[in-house]
Chains A and B, each alone.
Chain A
Amino acid sequence: MEWMDNALGRKIPAEIEGKTCVPFQGAFIDSGKGAPDAASPARTRRAIPLRQKPDKRVAGWDALFDRLDIRDGAKISFHHHLRNGDRIVNEVVARLAVRGVRDLTIVPTALFPVHDALLPYIREGVITKIDGSMNGAIGAACSRGEIRRTCVLRSHGGRQRAIQEGDIPIDVAFIAAPTADPYGNANGFFGPSACGPLGYAKPDSEHAGTVVLITDNLVPYPCAPWSIQGANVDYVLEVESIGDSSKIVSGTTRITRSPTQLRIAQLAARFIEATGLMTDGFSFQAGAGGISLAATVFLAERMRKAGVKASFAHGGATKVLVDLLEEGLLGSIVDLQSFDLDAVQSCARNARHIESDPYASYGPHSRGCVANMLDVALMGATEIDIDFNVNVVTHSDGTLLHGIGGHSDACSSAGCTIITVPSFRKRIPIIREKVTTVTCPGEVIDVLITERGVAINPKREDLLWKAKKAGLPCKEILQLMGEVQAITGVPAAPRFTDRPVALIEWRDGSVIDTVWQLATE
């Protein structure tokens, strides 16, 4: 196998499965990978004009698969709006396995613990590649080399671009829809499996060879609103249940009680105000993690006191954001996925709670996406290094355990990107000399906030000066790393083989890093 170094000095394969890898050159240097290419396998989707009503409904799973004729080596895609309550991914793969199909590539927007049920199919060779996020047990299996081909991890924006530009020619997109009509118009707002927005499935619905809509809440035409357009849908299948509603959205969203997380959140809110980012009409993305939610609450307190209103918040939505929208502290919510019932209902009813999709929110080759309009992004990390490179996919022991989500897209598009993390988890220090895997280059990371201090990228002297003046506990990242390692000790490095089990694609399709198979003990 031939190797090369990319601009960050990370070792990547020269080619995978006969396709040349384009090395990452910089966050804002387009590799040109997505340029229109005559040989691109992106198919043109065309149907013959009909008079009157095409019949898209199929009687059951078997009838569906008879018509689809999925062959060995096919690429099939899924979305993750039903999260850990999803029943469709496992069902489809199990049925294809029974029909003897092998060598599938699955292209999910994310996987959850419920999808650990796919492991036997991975071991049997029914699934031989995953183009998308790998979490928990599946990530660990990938790290051990159990997935036969080299997988690819992309951000939400990167995935959308890859689909649009033909990097991933999806044969069949399976779209679980909480509400749909017989024509395939669908939304996620109503029905027993309501999940809120359905945008992650939109690129698949527009570019896959064949689009299947699966619903447990069939309504008369026309389904309103239509987040997924029936014009893109080939088949509609009605089933008993697409998901377990108790695991799709939570009833309530709780704010963390962890003193350490609260301290980090408090520092983040102070930082945003002190550095002048919190001005009237500003915008932010914070996510629904423990620290992010608390930071949102603390930021809102400061906004109230200072009489400042934000124009919008972007990303996943929760009751916390919905309350701010209704209070008038937020002009809008631009929502990609709703995490609790309040957010689902708000997105369904409130015109200022906008349902978004990966192209509009994160599209790398869009003419400006929502993330570009962000003043502040508060994001997490599993590791960050002294050059501010961030890792969100592997743990320090080398195991692949998370997907990228919108991390790379928001980090590289927002005006100020802040990583909020505890300085160590259990005994594992978060600041490293070099991260195990780079998913986001340090050039787009402005600030690191931990409970033990704030480290500002030397590129952002403007922020440093303001933060110091406000009395924030600023430290150089090297000093912070030293302090933490004095407490935890320096961890040993994991051992890898030279087999790449997954590539990390930057938003433009270039390869920013490689995930290696773990060496066995």
Chain B
Amino acid sequence: MSGPQVLEAGFASKSDCLVRYAASEDAVSMAVQSSVQTLFGEAIRRSALEMLDSYGVATGRLDIEDDGALDLVIRARIEAVLRKAGFALQTGERRAAVRRPPTSRDRTRHTRLYVPGDQPHFALNAELFGADMLVFDLEDSVAGERKFEARILVRRLLENEFLFEKSEVAVRINVLRDECGKEDIDEIVAARPHVILLPKCESCSDVKILNRLLSLQEKERGIEGGSIYIAPIIETAKGALAATAIARASDRNVALCFGYEDFSRDIRARPAPETSAVQKKNTQTDALLAREMIVLAARSAGIQPLDSVFSDIEDTGGLTESCYQARALGFEGKAVIHPAQIEHVRRAFSPSREEVERAKAIVAAYEESLKEGGGAVAFDGQMIDVPLVDKAKRVIEESGRGA
């Protein structure tokens, strides 16, 4: 055996801190090194002492290497090392109950911004870019050995009351087939996310397991039962074929999402050569049927179908095209991986001024004809019937929501 085990959490990078705890027999000691020493050195020390006290730590050594992390980040990193070291909360660090304005089942979800769950730097301003939903990711953007500290960080980010006041907040957990996903739920429900995104969902039982876990946690924590929603993500062949059952598996379901990259890999689609028009246009023909199935499944269950990401951040023209394509298929929104994509996606999914004007004209012409006792009327050479009027009314309603 070598020297005492040193446990670590966080990164020594901008807006984060690297915290180490080394167990020993000696009375607890602490060292703080910070790029904002003069301004916050004392505050960091105070928080650390409070955390050591809360976790009943009397021995060992705590080292903090800080580069301007917010207090909640520092506490998250300290909590992670102390819990890794086997300490448990003793006195109860005082935390106010999370008060989050509720969301609604059918709120607009044109854009959902993915935020990596272990990089505070990306999270702090995430709300400011106007995404309809923020998705704090514990799955693909977090490496295996970082999952533990990431879920603590995400919980503390969501518990704070200043950073995410207006957005709908969601957490993408890990798959439930291993312990990791269950641990995510145990940790994260306390922070009352609006929605849980369930990745690689392949059957209605996946949703039912999540539903049960959520109910248990809600009960334990005194949260209204059923208040946390679910959005399953379909990203395998199996999942696509089970889409209908998945969409109907729980009353908590508010949306059915598609994950293209994993799906394409799962069905072993081989991309066209990079020089070909198919590849350049990024038409995702390999996923066309699956996407249509997801739209059908979601619509038949009365929930929102939401499309995958468009991964080339630079190609805004391609992004807009892919949004139009998704819209034409029936999707209501798209995932974004960079805030710069939000505006393009929103614009593509929101009705344009011309569309709204046209919709208003259709409704007006229809109502006029009703008044006159007539049935169907022609508008712009097109027969106006009830479905067309309903569609026009939805466009008007949608434009009102966006404003």
Interface residues of A (CB under 8 A from B): 257, 259-260, 262-263, 396-398, 425-428, 451-452, 483, 486-489, 491-492, 494
* A/B interface sample: 18 pairs, CB < 8 A: A257-B340, A259-B129, A259-B339, A260-B128, A397-B36, A397-B37, A397-B39, A398-B38, A426-B68, A427-B15, A427-B68, A427-B69, A451-B128, A452-B128, A487-B163, A489-B43, A489-B71, A492-B40
Within 8 A of A (CB), among B321-340: 338-340
Instruction: Considering the complex, give the chain A residue whose CB is closest to the CB of B128.
Output: A451
Known: A259-B125, A259-B340, A487-B162. A426 touches B67 (CB 8 A): yes
Rounded to whole angstroms, the CA-CA distance of A398 and B39 in the bound complex is: 10
Instruction: Considering the complex, give the chain A residue whose CB is closest to the CB of B126.
Output: A259
Rounded to whole angstroms, the CA-CA distance of A492 and B44 in the bound complex is: 11
Contact A487 B70 (CB under 8 A): yes
> Which residues of chain A are near B43, meaning CB under 8 Å?
489, 492
Rounded to whole angstroms, the CA-CA distance of A263 and B342 in the bound complex is: 12
> Which residues of chain B are near A492, meaning CB under 8 Å?
38-43
> Which residues of chain B are near A487, meaning CB under 8 Å?
70, 124, 162-163
- Bitwise, B64-96 to A at CB < 8 A (1) or not (0) is 000111110000000000000000000000000
> Which residues of chain A are near B162, meaning CB under 8 Å?
483, 486-487
Instruction: Considering the complex, give the chain B residue whose CB is closest to the CB of A473.
Output: B128
CB distance from B131 to the nearest CB of A (A): 11
Contact B38 A426 (CB under 8 A): no
- Bitwise, B39-67 to A at CB < 8 A (1) or not (0) is 11111000000000000000000000001
CB distance from B340 to the nearest CB of A (A): 6
CB distance from B402 to the nearest CB of A (A): 13
Q: Find B70's partner among A257, A263, A427, A451 (CB 8 Å cutoff).
A: A427
> Which residues of chain B are near A494, meaning CB under 8 Å?
38-39
Rounded to whole angstroms, the CA-CA distance of A397 and B36 in the bound complex is: 8
Contact A491 B40 (CB under 8 A): yes
Instruction: Considering the complex, give the chain A residue whose CB is closest to the CB of B35.
Output: A426
Given contacts A427-B68, A428-B68, A487-B70, 17 further A-B contacts (CB under 8 A): A397-B38, A397-B39, A426-B35, A426-B69, A427-B36, A427-B69, A451-B125, A451-B128, A452-B128, A488-B70, A489-B40, A489-B71, A491-B36, A491-B40, A492-B41, A494-B38, A494-B39
Rounded to whole angstroms, the CA-CA distance of A493 and B338 in the bound complex is: 36
- Most chain A CB neighbours (cut-off 10 Å) among B40, B41, B43: B40
Rounded to whole angstroms, the CA-CA distance of A398 and B36 in the bound complex is: 11
Rounded to whole angstroms, the CA-CA distance of A121 and B250 in the bound complex is: 74
Q: Find B340's partner among A262, A426, A486 (CB 8 Å cutoff).
A: A262
> Which residues of chain B are near A257, meaning CB under 8 Å?
340
CB distance from A485 to the nearest CB of B (A): 10
Say whether chain A's binding surface is mostly helix, strand, loop, or mixed. Answer: loop
Known: A427-B68, A483-B162. A263 touches B128 (CB 8 A): yes
> Which residues of chain A are near B394, meaning CB under 8 Å?
none
B219 at interface by CB-CB < 8 Å: no
CB distance from B96 to the nearest CB of A (A): 13
> Which residues of chain A are near B37, meaning CB under 8 Å?
397
B14 at interface by CB-CB < 8 Å: yes
CB distance from A222 to the nearest CB of B (A): 48
CB distance from A484 to the nearest CB of B (A): 9
Instruction: Considering the complex, give the chain B residue whose CB is closest to the CB of A450.
Output: B128
> Which residues of chain B are near A260, meaning CB under 8 Å?
125, 128
Task: Rank and list the top 5 A-B pairs by shortest CB-CB distance, nearest first.
Answer: A426-B68, A491-B39, A259-B339, A397-B38, A427-B68
> Which residues of chain A are near B14, meaning CB under 8 Å?
426
> Which residues of chain A are near B340, meaning CB under 8 Å?
257, 259, 262
Rounded to whole angstroms, the CA-CA distance of A368 and B129 in the bound complex is: 41
> Which residues of chain B are near A491, meaning CB under 8 Å?
36, 39-40
CB distance from A101 to the nearest CB of B (A): 36
CB distance from B236 to the nearest CB of A (A): 31
- Bitwise, B141-185 to A at CB < 8 A (1) or not (0) is 000000000000000000000110000000000000000000000
CB distance from B166 to the nearest CB of A (A): 12
Rounded to whole angstroms, the CA-CA distance of A428 and B69 in the bound complex is: 10
Rounded to whole angstroms, the CA-CA distance of A427 and B37 in the bound complex is: 11
- Most chain B CB neighbours (cut-off 10 Å) among A397, A398, A452: A397
CB distance from A496 to the nearest CB of B (A): 11
> Which residues of chain B are near A451, meaning CB under 8 Å?
125, 128
Q: Find A263's partner among B39, B42, B124, B129 (CB 8 Å cutoff).
A: B129
Rounded to whole angstroms, the CA-CA distance of A397 and B339 in the bound complex is: 32
CB distance from B1 to the nearest CB of A (A): 39
Known: A259-B339, A259-B340. A396 touches B39 (CB 8 A): yes
> Which residues of chain A are near B128, meaning CB under 8 Å?
260, 263, 451-452
Instruction: Considering the complex, give the chain B residue whose CB is closest to the CB of A484.
Output: B162
Rounded to whole angstroms, the CA-CA distance of A483 and B162 in the bound complex is: 8
Contact B39 A428 (CB under 8 A): yes
> Which residues of chain B are near A397, meaning CB under 8 Å?
36-39
CB distance from A361 to the nearest CB of B (A): 34
- Most chain B CB neighbours (cut-off 10 Å) among A259, A397, A494: A259
Rounded to whole angstroms, the CA-CA distance of A408 and B92 in the bound complex is: 52
> Which residues of chain B are near A259, meaning CB under 8 Å?
125, 129, 338-340
Rounded to whole angstroms, the CA-CA distance of A487 and B14 in the bound complex is: 16
Rounded to whole angstroms, the CA-CA distance of A451 and B130 in the bound complex is: 12
Rounded to whole angstroms, the CA-CA distance of A489 and B37 in the bound complex is: 14
- Most chain B CB neighbours (cut-off 10 Å) among A426, A452, A489: A426
